[in-house]
Structure 1
Amino acid sequence: MNTILSPLYYAVSWIIIRFHDLYSLVFNEDSGWAWGLSIVSLVIVVRIALIPLFFKQIKSTRNMQALQPKMKKIQERYKNDKQRQSEEMMKLYRETGTNPLSSCLPILAQSPFFIALFQVLNHIANNDKVGVLTADQVTSAREATIFGAPIAARFLDSADKLAELGASLTDVRVVTVVMIVLMSASQFFTQRQLMTKNVDLTVKTPFMNQQKMLMYIFPVMFAVFGINFPVGVLIYWLTTNVWTLGQQMYVITRNPTPGSVAFQQRQERLRKKGKLKEDPAEVEAKKAAEAARATRTQPKRQSKSQRQAGGTHPQGKPESGQPSAEQPKKAQPRQQPKQRPKKSQPGKPKSPNSKK
């Protein structure tokens, strides 16, 4: 392993030395700030070099989103056969050239640099030369401290070993615990931001389950293995997590995945600013609806006498139970009005034929 990664030892140590020379113009060359900022600058160089890979990751994520409808159909078709469902999913991935684990590519690409930095700091802790570092530079880096914790110190180091580095056990453990917590928290929020804002949660797929699993596994892994990392490696990984969080936030805000919460929020912002361009599909749907309304026949209006005479429906059809205009109404027998009896006038005798 050392033989394979030895070129990386030289590359990592050379980058650190160049930035250390730069920061020594501002800080003491033996201070932890000069060496710590050199490690931070190493992260920035590595992440800039990985930007093309990051865009490839975004493209692969877009492909995964485009496959969601097909994946949902596979789930519904083979919902009772999980093995067949997984086989069809993998077949779909192969046919479309999509990698469901593409979100792990930046981490995997950084692994060689991470291992190389880890080994460089191990050599510094053991006061051994490594890469392009001279003996004086190794001693300077070995004794440099950040908040009282040497860059080469670990959480599990004994008090005697830390005393050789001129540090106390309490200072080292407090600093390492704080950095491990920050490192795990930044990793968790980075993955959570992706899951809650930039993924369509209405469709449940194996890809979604993998992302959700990674959201909880990675922080636990960092917390467990972080106790074995030197302070310098913790600085490296905390910096790269913060970089990833900010880079991902920028992409989600400016170019979110269609159908995600971030996409809806962006559409709403553009709508308020009057910059939202209508979707061509929505425009076509509106035109079709307007054409359908224009070609629809409107019912003819009838006068009141026509409605009373014919009893027809507004569209010309007779109502149920009503005779049409062509069928005459049946003649109804005319009722004679009842006659009111005449009042007898006083002083006149009643007629003999009148009823008593």
Structure 2
Amino acid sequence: MGDFFSAIATPLYYAISGILLFWHRVVTLVLSPENGWSWVLAIVGLTVTIRALLIPLFVKQIKSSRNMQLIQPKVKELQKKYGHDRERLAQETMKLYKDTGTNPFASCLPLLIQMPIFLVLFRLVNKAAHNEAKGFLSVADVHHFADAKIFGARLADTFNGTHDTSVRVLAAVLVVAMCATTFFTQRQLMAKNMPAEAMQGQYAQQQKILLYVLPFVFAISGIAFPIAAMLYWTTSNVWTMGQQFYVIRNSPAPGTPAEKAKLERDREKAARKAARHGGTVASVDSADVAEAPAADDRRPAARQQPKKQTRSQRKSK
């Protein structure tokens, strides 16, 4: 099992350490290599780089989540119709996923891909704390990283690995920040971009479970995470919140509070534009439709055909 993990982790060691060193070299144009904040900014740069590379998967995640929300009424109908036959229900549900182009596992892809990266970063930091170089990190880089401090705490320190008060305070703050950003990232998606009918489906129940389970898991395991790893995960959550905010604001799912808010903003924008040009914005409603000319009235008059004449009448003309 260890050999299998090493075979997977070795390329990640080189990739993560290479990106980390690149950003550290950039930051050290301003700060000294030993400065703890140079490594903190390098970790932020590493996070931004990885999340930027994951944008295509994030787009698939948003589309899959939206489709899962929109097909919930149809899933409920299938459950009522084939609830007595689990095998047929599974077949019809998979057919529905295929017809609508929905992948129920796509919403987990960014998280599943990030977990190995997080674990490798976790081990990379632990190795550096014991002066062991991995990937592209040199012995000098490892020494600088192992001794790097912010607010009196080393980046390789953990909450349960020391009795230093300053380290424990900073680690506790980061554990809370990591759990809070995880919670609000999931809450943002459920509160703003899920239609009312989807909030009662099986998919919504799974989302509600994750809403509370994931922060709890991070709260328990976070006391063993190095400060550097918690900085990475918290920064990643902040990126996700901003990314979701942009997508939900500009491309909300139909029938959601976010869509209503966007329509209201569009109306206000149209009203301001019309006011600048001295016009008014006409709202399309039933009264406007009633006042509009009927389709038959707008249709051009039919051409009148000439009367049929006899041969003698045509000769006389």
Q: What TM bracket, shorter-length normalisation?
A: 0.7 to 0.9
Higher RCO (CA 8 Å, separation ≥ 6 residues)? 2
- By how many angstroms is 1:286 displaced? 4.7
After the TM superposition, which of the residue ranges 202-211 and 50-59 deviates more from structure 2?
A: 202-211
Matched to 2:256, the amino acid is: S
CA distance in 2, matches of 1:27, 1:175: 22
2:51 paired with 1:55: no
What's the TM-score once normalised by structure 2's chain length? 0.80
Distance 1:271 1:121, change over 3 A: same
TM-superposition CA deviations, 1:153-184 (whole Å, max 9, x none): 1111144xxxxxxxxx1111111110010111
The aligned runs of 1:120-135 (5 Å cut-off) are 120-135=124-139
Q: Which has the larger radius of gyration?
A: 1
CA distance in 2, matches of 1:266, 1:85: 40
Higher helix share: 2
2:165 paired with 1:170: yes
- By how many angstroms is 1:259 displaced? 0.5
CA distance in 2, matches of 1:82, 1:192: 34
Q: CA RMSD in A?
A: 2.9
- By how many angstroms is 1:62 displaced? 2.9
Distance 1:226 1:269, change over 3 A: same
Distance 1:131 1:69, change over 3 A: same
2:231 paired with 1:235: yes
Which residue number in structure 2 is paired with residue 31 of structure 1? 35
The aligned runs of 1:97-136 (5 Å cut-off) are 97-136=101-140
Does the 8 A contact of 2:162 with 2:168 survive in 1?
no
Report the 3-state secondary structure (helix = DSSP H, G, I; strand = E; otherwise coil) of the residue aligned with 1:26: coil
Report the 3-state secondary structure (helix = DSSP H, G, I; strand = E; otherwise coil) of the residue aligned with 1:258: coil
Report the 3-state secondary structure (helix = DSSP H, G, I; strand = E; otherwise coil) of the residue aligned with 1:227: helix
Which residue number in structure 2 is paired with residue 247 of structure 1? 243
Distance 1:279 1:63, change over 3 A: farther
What's the TM-score once normalised by structure 1's chain length? 0.72
TM-superposition CA deviations, 1:176-230 (whole Å, max 9, x none): 1100101110111111111011001223221111111111111111111111111
Does the 8 A contact of 1:17 with 1:133 survive in 2?
yes
Which residue number in structure 2 is paired with residue 194 of structure 1? 189
The aligned runs of 1:210-225 (5 Å cut-off) are 210-225=206-221
Pairing partner for 2:47 from 8, 30, 43: 43
| Deviant stretches of 4+, over 6 Å | 275-280
- By how many angstroms is 1:68 displaced? 3.1
- By how many angstroms is 1:5 displaced? 1.1
Task: Provide structure 2 residue ranges, at least 5 long, that are not aligned to the other structure.
Answer: 274-280, 298-317
CA distance in 2, matches of 1:102, 1:241: 18
CA distance in 1, matches of 2:187, 2:93: 24
